[in-house]
Structure 1
Amino acid sequence: MNSEPADQIRLLDLQDLDTKLSQLAHKRENLPEHAEIDALEADLTQLRDLLVAAQTEEGDTAREQSKAEKDVDQVRQRSVRDQQRLDSGAVTSPKDLESLQREIASLAKRQQDLEDVVLEIMERNEAATARVSELQDRVASVRTKADDASARRTSATGELDAETTRVTKEREVVAGSVPDDLLKLYDKLRAQQGGVGAAKLFQRRCEGCRLELNITELNEIRAAARDEVLRCENCRRILVRTSDSGL
């Protein structure tokens, strides 16, 4: 293939722009905010699960406490009624009096036991409530951090997208000035060679594979016509000659 030296040199400009676009895409994909947000979202998921469990325990203990308090109230009311019967003098039979006194004593013991249960449940409910409050604060804190990271990511991606748009337009202009057959070869090689389709011959070294050319290769390049499109014998990329090639 033959192409004017100026067209070949424009390939280096095109390669610089394509390299820049690849770097921008890589930077966008690997913004530190991506990993930061993923970690924070994972923390949020875990904290929310813990919060749901704590809220469930809080609700369960609240209902358990309410039932236990009703049980205490029922025993207390029964005890009050029995005491009133005892104090009224309506019960005169010694046997009935003894039975009533035993029941009052039994109810007092039952009430004490139930009140102990209520206290134990209250302690568990208070602990669950405190846990809910703590987890709500932690969720809010992590959510704030995640929102901040999201805002930073949006800002960073916006800047990168704007730069990508600018470079893409510049690439279109440069690509439009390169002959179609040369551009087609460049794009094909760039796809095959990890994003680099053309490289400068600098100080007798291919800037694509970073290998120095041997004397035979250099002599062949020296003998080639100025408009001949050369390829590196090592990496097969388009090898562009410049004033810095050291020929």
Structure 2
Amino acid sequence: MNVEPPIQAKLLRLAAVDAELTRIAHRRTVLPEQQEVDRLEAERNAHKDAAVAVEIVLDDLDRDIRKLEGEVEAVRKREDRDKGMLTAGSVNAKQLTEIQHELGSLERRRSVLEDELLDVMERREASVADHEHAGARLSKTEADLADAQRQRDEALADLAVAQGRCDVDRLDLIALFPADLLAVYDRQRAQHGVGAALLQARRCGACRIELDRGEIARIAKTAPEVVVRCSECGAILVRTKESGL
């Protein structure tokens, strides 16, 4: 394939644009701002789960409190009934003994229930503090996440601008090349990442391998308009005064 040397030289500009497009695409996949968003999203979800877990505990404690309050109230009503019977003096000696014994049992039962109720209420108070703490951590993480998402979006916008500029430059450049040369370049780039590179100091700028003397001698004898390719990686080699021929 024969292409005028000035046109071949312009392949280096195209390769530079394509290298920048590759860097932009890679940066999108390893964007630090996106990694921070991912980290904070995971942290937010963990805080949400923690808050929900505490809410479940609070619901269970509230149910226990209602149950214990109901039991305490039932015991008190039973005590009031028995005390009312004693006050009315409408019981015989045997019933009096039984009622007094029952009142003693009811008092002990109420004391146990009230102790349990106090314990559950203290646990609820601690859980409320845990819930408030979890809510505060969740709020902070959500604020941090919103800020990280803004920074991520700004970084993506910058990359989009850079890619748009490269896309325009690439369209302008590819119009300069014969279709067969461009096809070889694009195929090589798709397979190996670099379509064309400078031959500099006898070294291929694509694979960075120094060509042997025989290959350099062959390239040196090749007419300038003939397109030559690296014997190691296949990239189109652009020859200049820096090539060491």
Common fold, TM-score beyond 0.5? yes
Q: Indicate the residue corresponding to 2:48 in structure 1.
A: 48
Q: Indicate the residue corresponding to 1:61 in structure 2.
A: 61
Q: CA shift at 1:5, angstroms?
A: 0.5
Q: Indicate the residue corresponding to 1:87 in structure 2.
A: 87
Q: CA shift at 1:9, angstroms?
A: 0.6
Q: Indicate the residue corresponding to 1:136 in structure 2.
A: 135
Q: Indicate the residue corresponding to 2:70 in structure 1.
A: 70
- Per-residue deviation, residues 151-191 of structure 1 (Å, max 9, x unmatched): 11111000001110111111110011111111111001111
**Aligned counterparts of 1:108 and 1:146: Cα–Cα separation in 2:** 56
The DSSP-based 3-state class of the residue aligned with 1:244 is helix
Q: Indicate the residue corresponding to 1:199 in structure 2.
A: 197
TM (norm. structure 2) is 0.95
| 8 A Cα contact 1:7 1:179, kept in partner | no
**Aligned counterparts of 1:136 and 1:201: Cα–Cα separation in 2:** 62
Query: Which stretches in structure 1 are left out of the alignment for 5+ residues?
Result: none
**Aligned counterparts of 1:161 and 1:113: Cα–Cα separation in 2:** 70
Aligned length: 245
Alignment of structure 1 residues 154-233 onto 2, 5 Å? 154-193=153-192, 195-233=193-231
**Aligned counterparts of 1:74 and 1:188: Cα–Cα separation in 2:** 87
- Per-residue deviation, residues 113-160 of structure 1 (Å, max 9, x unmatched): 111111121122222222211111111122222222111111100000
TM (norm. structure 1) is 0.94
**Aligned counterparts of 1:51 and 1:152: Cα–Cα separation in 2:** 27
Q: CA shift at 1:108, angstroms?
A: 1.0
Q: Which amino acid aligns with 1:203?
A: A
Q: CA RMSD in A?
A: 1.4
Alignment of structure 1 residues 85-124 onto 2, 5 Å? 85-91=85-91, 93-124=92-123
The DSSP-based 3-state class of the residue aligned with 2:197 is strand
Q: Which moved more, 1:127-136 or 1:171-180?
A: 127-136
Residue 29 of structure 2 corresponds to residue 32 of structure 1: no
The DSSP-based 3-state class of the residue aligned with 2:233 is coil
| 8 A Cα contact 1:33 1:152, kept in partner | yes
Q: CA shift at 1:239, angstroms?
A: 0.7
